[in-house]
Structure 1
Amino acid sequence: MRVFIGIKLPEVSKGQLVAVQEEVKRASLKGSFTDPDNFHLTVRFIGEVDQDQKSAIETALARCAAEQGPFLIETNGLGYFFKKNKWIIWMGIKENSPLEQLYDQLNVSLQGEEMPLAEEVAFIPHLTLGRGIVLAQEWEVLSKVPLPPDQKIPVTALTLFESVRLNGKLVYRPLADFPFKGRTIRTIASKPTNI
C-alpha cells in the first residue's frame, strides 16, 4: 500500500479552498485539480509499505501524537512549484513553529521505528489546489487575484492516509487518526470509502 502522513482539514476550510481553486481554474487552460475531498496538508510522504512497516508507522504516530498539543495553522496566499513547463499551484501556510516541531518530532519518531525515509529537500507546508496546470496568463496576474481572508485551521491530530485509485479516481483514504494527547481512532471501513 502507498501511504503518507498528513493533517485532515475541516469542511469549512475545504469550502474556502474550493473558492480559491475556482480562481486558479479560471486562470488556467488545463490541469488536474484536487478533488475537495482530497484536500489535506501532507506532513511526511512515505510511499509503498508492507503490513509490518504500516504497524511501525502507527507506533511512531501514536508516540508522536501523545507528546503533541493542538495548535492552529494559517493560510498565506498562493504559491507554486514549476516542473516541465507545468505548474503545481497551492495555498501556502504561514511560518509556524508548532508545525515545524511536529515535523521534526515525527521524523525522529519514524527513525526510532527504523523506517527508511527518503531524503526531503525542504518541508514546505502547503495545500495543493492542482497539478500539471497550464496557465492562461502570467503568474504575476494570478498571484494578485483577490483571495478570501487567510484562514486559521485547527490541527488536532495526525492521520495515516492510503493513496488508492477507486473506479479510476484518486482517493486519499484515512486509515487511522492519531489525536494529539489522545487515542488512535480507526477510520477505515470494511468497504473503501471516498473520504
Structure 2
Amino acid sequence: MRLFVALDLPWSVRERLADLAGSLAGARWVPAENYHITLRFIGETPNHVAEEIDLALAAVKARGFNVEIAGFGTFERQGRPTTLWARVAPNPALDHLQGKVDTALRRAGLDAERRRFCPHITLARVDHVAPAALASWVAAHNLMRSAPVEVQHFTLFSSALGKEQSVYTPEVDYALA
C-alpha cells in the first residue's frame, strides 16, 4: 500500500484552483479531487507497518488552525521547471503539525524526511511548457489569495496508480483539538 499524510481541502478551494486548469498550454493538470497539502510522503508500506503508522498518527496532538493559499511557484529538476504549485502562506501551526507527524512516523520506525517541508498544492506537471510561458503564467496569477481554510484534522491517504492519474483514498482522519 502506498501512503502519505496530508491536509484535505474543501471543494470551494479546489474549485477555485481548478478554474485555472487549461490556462497554460502544455501543462498536465492534476484533477481537483487530488488537491491536498502533503505533510509527509511515506511510500510503499506493508500492512503491518501501516498499522504502526496509524497508531503513531493517532497519538499526534495539535490544535486546529487556518491556512491560506498565497500565490504560485514551481519546482525544478536540473534547472528546468517540472511542477506548478499553489503556495501555502507561511504558518507556524502548520509547521508544528508537520513536525509532530514526522516525529510520530520516526517513532513508528520510518526514516526522517530528508527534504525541507515546503507546503504546497500540486496543480500541474509542466515538463513540456516553455519556461517563459510558465514564468508569465505565474506572474499573471501570483496575487491570488484564498480566504482562510480551517484545518480541523489531517488524513492518512493511500495512493493507487490509475491509467491517467493516481487515485487518492482517505484511509483515516485524525482530529485536531
Question: What TM-score, normalized by structure 1, do the two folds share?
Answer: 0.81
Return 142-151 or 67-76, whichever deviates more.
Answer: 142-151
Distance 1:98 1:62, change over 3 A: same
1:72-127, Cα deviation, whole Å (9 max, x unpaired): 0111101000125342000001110000011111111122222234x422100000
Q: Does 1:72 align with 2:62?
A: no
1:151-177, CA deviations, whole angstroms, 9 ceiling, x for partnerless residues? 321111111111103455421111111
How far apart, CA to CA, are the structure 1 residues paired with 2:27 and 2:74?
A: 14
TM-aligned CA distance change 1:15 to 1:59, over 3 Å: same
In the alignment, what sits opposite 2:93?
98
The reply to whether residue 32 of structure 1 matches residue 33 of structure 2 is no
Contact preservation (8 Å) 2:13, 2:146: no
Give the count of matched residue pairs: 174
Stretches of structure 2 lacking an aligned partner (at least 5 in a row): none
Q: How does 1:115-194 map to 2 (within 5 A)?
A: 115-117=110-112, 119-136=113-130, 138=132, 139-146=134-141, 148-166=144-162, 169-181=165-177
SS across alignment from 2:27 = strand
| TM-score calculated relative to the size of structure 2 | 0.89
1:59 aligns with 2:55: yes
Work out whether residues 53 and 105 of structure 2, in 8 Å CA contact, stay in contact via their aligned partners in 1: yes
- Worse-superposed segment, 146-155 or 89-98: 146-155
Query: 1: distance between equivalents of 2:131 and 2:146?
Result: 24
The one-letter amino acid of 1:107's match is D
